[in-house]
Amino acid sequence: MIKKIGIIGAGTMGSGIAQVAATAGCVVKLFDLNQAALDKAKASLEKIMTRLVEKGRIESEEKMRIQRNISYVNSLKELADSDLTIEAIVENLDIKKKVFQELESYVSDACIIASNTSSLSIASIASSLQNPERCVGIHFFNPAPLMKLVEVIPAIQTSGEVLKISEETIKSWKKVVAVAKDTPGFIVNRVARPFYGEALRIYEEGIADFVTIDFAMKSVGGFKMGPFELMDFIGNDVNYTVTETVFTAFYYDPRYKPAFTQKRFAEAGYLGRKTGRGFYDYSEGTVRPEP
Ligand code: NAI
């Protein structure tokens, strides 16, 4: 029975996953090195929960129950009694490996250690552990509380038991599971690379501006968000890193080649909604395109 959840990284994904687990009745500890990220996650949950109460989606007792289920901690050691940990920190293999090694020294042998990575190899993350059979990919989509699908990715080292418990746990959180092989980008992020990649190339070649591309994909393509809106939503830093990782992992297959525009946006700090400016400008509460 998986009841105690440790989440590592209180950013966009970690805070969303914490909300999902707490709503399902789990006791959650949300860890981040950065106190500001913890404060932001707490404040943002309060806002989301208040809105849900106002809309009549949940009772205020339910709001209080969910919020009570989450504690915010600034030491990895606090996650020692977890049944399952899900890591959602920066998309960097070396940093993830270091955190996993430290984490394993605190948790019990029965604890499942999962990563929410979008594109890194679960096998290589697992290899940092003394007991790699306990490692699995559990990949949520953004925003985690709203997106139904979760990819569960066993590495070649992952035990059948760990895969089974992971699938059952995520289903008990009212999500739909797709089990994917441990290949770059898994299912969705691999399919999504050309969606962003071609849109960026069309923009760079001057065939259309990004507002027009977004408009076309929404009105004719039936997408809820155009590729540029989606890149701003995901974060241009995160999305660029994922593209670069998938490109490298596929031995530089040109189908996955990153675009310079995306790299420049990431370098400039034009990360999208989270920094108030990306392809669109979100700073004054209105959304208008950057020149
Ligand atoms: P984010 O930048 O919003 O949050 C990352 C958090 O991790 C930050 O609060 C940072 O302070 C913290 N952090 C960094 N290094 C740390 C460390 N060593 N120990 C503890 N905390 C640390 O990033 P986001 O978007 O939440 O992504 C996190 C992971 O989830 C990445 O692996 C990403 O590829 C994956 N992911 C992202 C999605 C997205 O749409 N943004 C969707 C699905 C997966």
Contact 97, 8 (CB under 8 A): no
Residue nearest to atom 1 of ligand 1 (CA): 11
Pocket test for ligand 1, best of 118, 151, 234 (most atoms within 8 A of CB): 118
205 given a catalytic annotation = no
Q: What is the pLDDT of residues 53-76, one digit of tens each?
A: 999 999 999 999 999 999 999 999
- Average pLDDT of the residues in 174-194: 95
Instruction: Spell out the SS3 assignment of 249-285.
Output: HCCCCHHHCCCHHHHHHHHHCCCEHHHCECCEECCCC
For residue 172, is pLDDT > 80? Answer: yes
For residue 288, is pLDDT > 90? Answer: no
Centre of ligand 1 from the C-alpha of residue 12, in Å: 7
Which atom of ligand 1 lies nearest, measured to the CA of 41? Answer: 9
Q: Average model confidence (pLDDT) for the chain? A: 95
For the chain, percent of residues with pLDDT exceeding 70: 98
Centre of ligand 1 from the C-alpha of residue 172, in Å: 24
pLDDT of 42: 98
Cα distance between residue 110 and residue 230, in whole Å? 38
- What is the SS3 assignment for 113? strand
Q: Which of 82, 91, 128, 139 is catalytic?
A: 139
189 given a catalytic annotation = yes
Count each helix (H run) and each strand (E run) in the chain, helices first. 11, 10
pLDDT of 1: 84
Cα distance between residue 98 and residue 271, in whole Å? 26
DSSP E strand stretches across the chain: 4-8, 27-31, 70-73, 84-87, 112-115, 135-140, 149-154, 176-179, 280-281, 288-289
Cα distance between residue 81 and residue 59, in whole Å? 30
| Omega cis (within 30) before 143 | yes
Which atom of ligand 1 lies nearest, measured to the CA of 99? Answer: 18
Centre of ligand 1 from the C-alpha of residue 90, in Å: 4
Is 30 near ligand 1, meaning CB less than 6 Å away? no
Sheet with 135-140: strands ordered across:
70-73, 27-31, 4-8, 84-87, 112-115, 135-140, 149-154, 176-179
**What ipTM does the predicted assembly reach?**
0.98
pLDDT of 290: 63
118 given a catalytic annotation = yes
Cα distance between residue 206 and residue 89, in whole Å? 36
